Amino acid sequence: MNAIEINDLTVAYQDKPVLWDLDLTVPSGILMAVVGPNGAGKTTLIKAILGLIDPAAGQVLVQGKPYRRQRHLLAYVPQRGSVDWDFPTSVLDVVMMGRYGALGWIRRPGGRERALAMQALDKVGMTDLAERQISQLSGGQQQRVFLARALVQDACIYLMDEPFQGVDAKTERAIMDVLRELRDTGNTVIAVHHALQTVPEYFDWVTLLNVRLIAAGPVKEAFTEANIRLAYSGRVPFHSGTSNGTSNGDGSGKGDGDDADDAPWLSALR
């Protein structure tokens, strides 16, 4: 069965389109990159799959059913910058938050949740930092904590927003190892990605976005220079080597929407 099926999805912030009529089918058991320029709607796509944003039209099916009933199958790794890292809490505590959904109302996390969290921390190589306060972590360690938090959700589909943003090379390798292991055990991983040069090495599938879908499919077929050119409107940051450098401004989905602001599309109708 397909992990994700997106039909005619349009998402708009205050009637400014961020995603236009998107059709996308993601098979199970793959590692998929979502690439595109700033304001292409990458974060928005992830959030729409998670049901964090209501679409203007279309729908998302998770393993054949609307996501509202399938939430337990999805795990989310938000952008690292989206939270206050000075919050008084420990690494282990943050990881255990991944179990809150399964716990339901009122019940408190206990020994079982603690054990699961420690397992997840082991997978990302951070058991010895379990009791550390989160403000004392490096960027790479913070990203690994978020990954561990998603791992304890015990989901089938992992949605990650720029997992490699601002992390060191060692963390990047560690994260990739975990993602490959997830894929090899039948899970699906979808990650917003910025470094085009690592797409063929890291991922099996790729989705090229620029407000609408440019191409999607196995990397060999879809990740062609023509498609990349199309997605980046001719301005391909491919050989610059610092394609990451332009990614900093691409923050939340709201930023995405703002970027699409200048589009003169609306005047087309008047």
Token pair listed for 169 = 């090379």
Beta bridge partner(s), residue 90: 133
Binding of residue 109 to another protein (CB under 8 A): yes
Kindly state the tokens that stand for 211: 């407000």
Instruction: Using alpha carbons, list the distances in angstroms from residue 119 to 112, 122, 153, 167, 176.
Output: 11, 5, 12, 22, 18
Nearer to another protein, 78 or 257 (CB): 78
Q: How many of the chain's residues bind another protein (CB under 8 A)?
A: 52
Rounded to 5 degrees, what angle do the CA atoms 145, 76, 137 make? 20
Q: Which stretch binds another protein (CB under 8 A): 29-37, 100-108, 114-122, 175-183?
A: 100-108
Nearer to another protein, 238 or 265 (CB): 265
Quick check: 265 binds another protein (CB under 8 A)? yes
The span from the CA of 270 to the CA of 267, in Å, is 5
Considering beta carbons, is residue 65 or 173 the nearer one to another protein? 65
Contact between 111 and another protein per CB under 8 A: no
The secondary structure element, H or E, covering residue 207 is strand 205-210
Q: Which of residues 122-161 bind another protein (CB under 8 A)?
A: 133, 135, 149, 153
Min. distance of Cβ 17 from another protein in angstroms?
Answer: 8
Pair 96, 152: CB distance under 8 Å: yes
* CA–CA distances in Å: residue 157 to residues 123, 138, 148, 153: 17, 27, 14, 10
Give yes or no for residue 78 binding another protein (CB under 8 A). Answer: yes
- Segment 29-58, which members bind another protein (CB under 8 A)? 50-52, 55-58
> What residue ranges bind another protein (CB under 8 A)?
7-8, 10, 12, 14-15, 17, 20-21, 23, 50-52, 55-59, 71-72, 74, 76, 78, 82-84, 87-90, 93-94, 97, 100-101, 103, 105-106, 108-109, 133, 135, 149, 153, 211-212, 263-266, 268-269
